[in-house]
Structure 1
Amino acid sequence: MPLDTVLLLDTSGSMAGRGMRELQRACKVFLDGVQETARESNLKENIAVVEFGEKARVVQSLTNDYNKCRRAIDSLKPGGRTPMFDGLMESLKEIITNGGVVKVCGRPLTPRVILMTDGLPTDEKGETDEARVKVIAAAKAFSPSGWRECGLPHPVPIACVGCGDCDPSLLDAIAKMTKGMFVIVENVAELSSFFRKQVLLIRFAAKFASDLDQLRSRMALMAFFRELGEAVEDAELDGLMQLLFAMLCLEAIVEAGASGGDDPFIDGLPPHGSRVRRGRNWKWGSQGNNMCGTVIKHDRRGVVEVEWDSGHENHYRMGAEGCYDLKIVDEPRVVASIAEVKPGCMVVRGRDWQWGTQDGGQGQVGVVYRVERSSKSVRVRWPGGTRGHYRNGKDGKYDLQLANQSMSHTRISAVIKTASFNIMPSLSPPKAPVSGSSPRKPPVEDQGKYCWQWQDNQGQWRTYTEDNLKKLEEIYGQNPNAVCKMVNGKFEYKINFESMRQVNTSTNASRPIRRTRMSQDDYDLALAIERSLQIL
């Protein structure tokens, strides 16, 4: 079964003339590369061509008849506005109707969308805030948080390439949301290079599909491109790695390999790296020496394995038999140096980091849940659940450093509260499970965030900037009746938590504000929408 790729192409009026010629040339370069890959790697690729311009439509459904694809590309005519939302929806329908997941050496390889645009998204009213919001909503349908509801076979990453008068913040938001990639080219003539790299990425996946270490190696991908004479900037290489991980579902594969096949979120169990102490149903005497411990493995339904700070390991009930032997605590483990790292320690990127954005980005804090002395390496869980395997002295390399060397205890505690799993069992004694039933899951505290928003003239709730979100939540946490000042956009505002109003200190205009709890996905989406709207 071939890999599925949808070329989603902007054919609006701004692409007339040279722009359309260069786009058509780049697409043909891409098709030539796809054919070459099919011959060399025995990996065929179905291609669909979808346009959004005068209208959004599927010009050619998924096929490996590349002559049909070339004729479809030759038929493209520029005109109209930029209905990007409609183009995304046409791509979604095409993948659901005709797409699938191919396996390469037993590994799933998901479809992808390659989105090219040189303009700002529009709807029937032109370039509006609503047009951007609709595009973000459409992109979410492809993302890890939206694919199931839409009937996709897997999350589908979107590789975005923009040129001309594009909306970079919007394209970046789409790429991040779908775990794709985003690049800007100076002009449409550079599209051929971008499409060529997309071909080589699949060739790399086919070549190393049976070698997980090579697949997740940034250095291996860079060497592969260099051998073929293709120069790649660091930022673009990071994007290509992220796109590859998404297409190969590598986050799940890496996690399974890192933990012996155990799932970090089985039946509501606390994820690896969670810090624990004795809980309400403890019956194991002096095990653990009354110290803190770290969850290092999920053994079976409702049971976890813990390594205590004393060095001993054992299994405990977290839902099995309706009992909870442990409770989650906010007590990061502290050691003197990274060479002495233990399960439960908080870490960030170190001096030899070479894994791109695998940690979620600069400054993200992970928790160590396993130390492998023999191989001089450690296993780490990052915010959001992604896990990885890193050098800790191997060949003299240290990919990580202790978070407490660069962060205050207050910030570390905040990270734990955000990233860890909090179990809040009721105070009443647990009921015994009914014979034959599954163990009762412990109640789980919502892991979302509080989001601060203000209401605009159209009655829409707009999100404050990320820096102001942190500032507002910090001040509110100290005093929920406080009054403070802050700059948002071009103006200074006085924020009154008691009345939940903001007042422009220059115009005295007053608007409602609100503090609302959101899931992490909705929180990220609100920020992405706001970043897009700020370009106006």
Structure 2
Amino acid sequence: MRGIPVGSRIILISDGKGTPDQWCLSGDTVRPNDPKAKILVNSNMIAAGQLLQTSGNTLYCVPVGDYDERPLELIARLSGGDLIKSDIHARIVQHAQHQSAAANYVHECKDLEPGVDREPFLKAIIGVESTTPGEPNFEQSKMDTLTLAMKYTKRREMSLMFSGQGDVMDEVNSYMPCIGTRVRRGPTWHWGNQDSGGPGTVVGHDSESMVWVEWDLNGDRNTYHYIPGIHDVMVVDEERELTEHQRIAVGCKVKRGKDWLHGDQDGGEGNIGVVCRTRSAQFVHVRWPNKVIRRYRFGAGGRFEVELVGGRKPGGTSLTILPPRMRNGSTTDRSKETRIEMSVEDMNRRNQSK
């Protein structure tokens, strides 16, 4: 609609009680006193909701029977949908109308300058006077249209920025490794050879339980669990190695270059950032220790707004804190003793102390 992929509307009718697909339990329910099962179910539902959102689809949950409302509401909200109880089924019927209206309103804002907050403009043209249910001027129909319009706005911005790569540079959980953190397969890894046996870089959070990782050796990007007790990947102190044909890549460390004109956007001179996107090796997106993520020239127009910091070439001594890997992908017995946790901020402080 109006050049905006609006996605599909999915309706889930469920009691909200599930089991981890990794387990075989008796009956379709979670054991009340099994916290690990609850963590797995919650993690899987969060991942499902985020996957629906990144694929452009919206989920509406209709509870039935003796239902558990929380997981249904969680997965619906993550996808941009909602929990629909029996007394408001009309909202599902009106969804297509809201989609069309939202796409038109987003199109009306297309000429606004990049970076301008669209929400005030959308509220005004939709006629939203209140966003709080229960207030006298609150109208659910208009709120539904605004919610979709904001979703389409973000989708358009991200598609323009990343050419439909399917994920977002965002950090939503302080427990998980921040963008730019270097990782390898972790203790609960069960994803075969997706990493080609090498390290990778965290390039975003897909939900409150999963991280996006781009792998060095094949360039593939996938999501992995990272919650207490379930670490598909683990943090390592292992710098990105460039091939002879690479000038820069995701995971490389950078600092201000000779053509820097961005003030203290990096948090101050001397700070070290990590590349989390590359675009034709002419532009890079960098995540700085102050959590700012911006795009910079790396050769475009002959300008270098950032430059590499200690780019290690193949054949150099690796500082990996992991023990050598066997051919079958296993590690030696001393692996647990040598693993440490290190964030981008830790690495930045270490580099500046040298």
Task: Judge same fold: TM > 0.5, yes or no.
Answer: no
Higher strand share: 1
Higher helix share: 1
